[in-house]
Structure 1
């Protein structure tokens, strides 16, 4: 099963390791044959066969059982010269796949066994030379294996951090969307409650008015009762979004486009250099739904400017035509960037939700001259058609 799960990269690495073991073993065998004392021989075929068997063992089990393979190779070195190469590559695999606390003692024991074999077979300079060469080979292989292991662990850690960061960002975005939708639902509840209550009041006045014909009185009663039921249904549906604690302060009235100058003035009092260009003949004529979203867009733009470009000039432009055009542009401060205030980075996500509900468009990003621009286009005709009352429709035609 382990063999079937290996990728082509793993097989390529395994074949490379086996090839290196065979090459090193063959080189050591050739050196041993050339340096044999007169009258002594070595069974080359037997030696090669044993070395090939250990290479197959290395190929099959080096990844799943590196410790067992390395320990087996320590004792297999007594059997044939070619197994010295297999044992060296087994130590490399052990250092690559297991911690140094396991790899170093086994590699040290294998090297000590090799030096012992040299001490038995060689003497003088040959013993010293062989010991130094094998010590260097083991040092290079074990160190390389440990470096490869460290690099793989670092890459795995970075990938895990990237996945965690992506997941966290995705959760923050989803949370921001849910919170913004909840806030929008609460705002719409207040607006609809006001409109429906007015409808119920006028229908009641028509129903119980002294001069109302009987047929209209009955129709007005149906309208009044339907409005009352609609209020109850709306309260039940939106009530699950209400998470205010008992005794909490009541919500403030929702802002409109006419409150934008006050918002800009607050930023100026806080030390901001904000310029307001408002090309709207009468902000009170803008539908409250559109004005409320425009106010939030300006508020978010000024907040971002204070966070990411403190002390920079900010220009707020609000114009009304076929659409309500809201634009906030801030210059990037000179010199090195200052430390920004902490934030979730999801404010623009909420603005996108608001603009999408109105069928508008939202753009944000750096401009070619090094400034940052936030621009939203909110349709006015769609807002009137969505239901702002007959008076609002008249105002809209005057505004456009």
Structure 2
């Protein structure tokens, strides 16, 4: 039976955790020992597969986070996945060869060209900066290619900062008062600008240059990046404004999609074997019950009960068959709870 890869990872972890239990049960059951007990070679393959999928599982959890910013973690996580794929290919595990080929193809299609914008988000994390980007590119590519990619990230970051600096300059100039309370110059300081231009010994450094020249924090240091930039807004006002806009971009749409998903409310641990039609029918009954409960609270009569759910083809067919049964129709209209009980007894349990 095909299952999702994350389910495979959790099942493998559970099996490896209870490895000693398998051996204990095999000593007491000869049939289990001869037909179902994994061999030593199979246990090694399970451990290899579990170790390989662990990185993907951890990265998926990070990208699906909802209570922290994820854009600054994109580069690090994709680098971990990329490195794991390259290591697995180098190991040449025959039992994983076809799977690795498909995974490598999909990775090269969607992820191999690291997002330059999200790479800039990693630079704006004081734990990483450009040094971490340089380290990762040097691990993955030849020297020339690594330098080209690093230069692209830096150029994008500089251009983005110039946009913010120009916007900030326009805002500050428009807010300056028009009245002039200074004393008149009367020609005393006509050569001031020339003097200053010749006395400058070095080029003025931008906020971005000063930030990048500072030493990076510890790679594994616990740090709230948004709080860091909030505290640094006085020192780097323009760069902090850019960092806040960049870091709040979510790296995945999983969080927003899960807010509208009902799968976990229907397919629970105790109901993981439901057929699609059965699951859709349960969702419809749940919606009916919710509307009926709201109607009771608002004082509506049972005759005005409406079914506002949008049905798919399969759910429409099964509900049409259920509605043909007068007893079920009466139960649904009279009390949604009784209808749910009948549905589980006669459809799910097939009594």
TM-score with structure 2 length normalisation? 0.20
* Structure having greater relative contact order (Cα 8 Å, sep ≥ 6): 2
TM-score with structure 1 length normalisation? 0.18
